[in-house]
Chain A
Amino acid sequence: RKEVEQDPGPFNVPEGATVAFNCTYSNSASQSFFWYRQDCRKEPKLLMSVYSSGNEDGRFTAQLNRASQYISLLIRDSKLSDSATYLCVVNSAGSQGNLIFGKGTKLSVKP
């Protein structure tokens, strides 16, 4: 089983749609979780941290289910500028900080 697994997509949605991405991780001892976005040939940019209680930042909502080792990202009212690859990222348990990246889910928002 891969350490961090995501559906690669692509997800093709119209502007204004709501879209959800899921991610599973294999190491139950992992403690920190993040969503990053990566535009084509650019660096990953932190979108949001993910907390057990769930958290929201504008149109973005992240959820964590530790029992199922499952992380989700919900994007409401999609914009053209949301088109990117969304990376599920988990802190490597037992390490002092290195991150484990999923391969990403590609989102394309169409007018």
Chain B
Amino acid sequence: NAGVMQNPRHLVRRRGQEARLRCSPMKGHSHVYWYRQLPEEGLKFMVYLQKENIIDESGMPKERFSAEFPKEGPSILRIQQVVRGDSAAYFCASSPTGGDLPQHFGDGTRLSIL
């Protein structure tokens, strides 16, 4: 499967724990985007990364959230000290370059906070 791979598909955490969401872009894609979809809401942009660089993090909450895309390995979205309001579907998308090209999405990680 050469598509965008996200894992885990489902993640359950208790309040105060950490959540780590992983995304491997499509082969040949070096641009990764993270989006969050709250129940009954549209997708909201969180962060845009290239290898080893954060290009745009204007959609990231100021605290508890961080993202990286190391030289080797998947992109990671990390949420520390999770709260109930973090429950959502988190989608990763990739594109071969930035700018105007369409983005292709992974299956998403559904995060549930108990």
- The 8 Å CB contact of B99, one of A46, A97, A102, is A97
State whether B43 touches A101 (Cβ < 8 A).
Answer: yes
Those of A91-109 within 8 Å (CB) of chain B:
91-92, 95-104
State whether B41 touches A103 (Cβ < 8 A).
Answer: yes
State whether A99 touches B45 (Cβ < 8 A).
Answer: yes
Q: CA of A103 to CA of B44 in the docked complex: distance in angstroms?
A: 10
Q: How large is the interface on B (under 10, 10 to 19, 20 to 34, 35 or more residues)?
A: 20 to 34
> Which segment, of B13-21, B65-73, B74-82, B105-113, faces chain A?
B105-113
29 A–B contacts from the bound complex (CB under 8 Å): A31-B100, A32-B99, A41-B89, A42-B108, A43-B105, A43-B106, A43-B107, A43-B108, A44-B105, A87-B43, A91-B99, A91-B100, A95-B48, A96-B55, A96-B99, A97-B31, A97-B33, A97-B56, A97-B98, A97-B99, A97-B101, A97-B103, A98-B56, A99-B33, A99-B45, A101-B35, A101-B42, A101-B44, A104-B42
Query: Which one of A41, A42, A96 has the highest number of Cβ atoms from chain B below 10 Å of its Cβ?
Result: A96
Interface residues of A (CB under 8 A from B): 4, 31-32, 34, 41-46, 49, 87, 91-92, 95-104
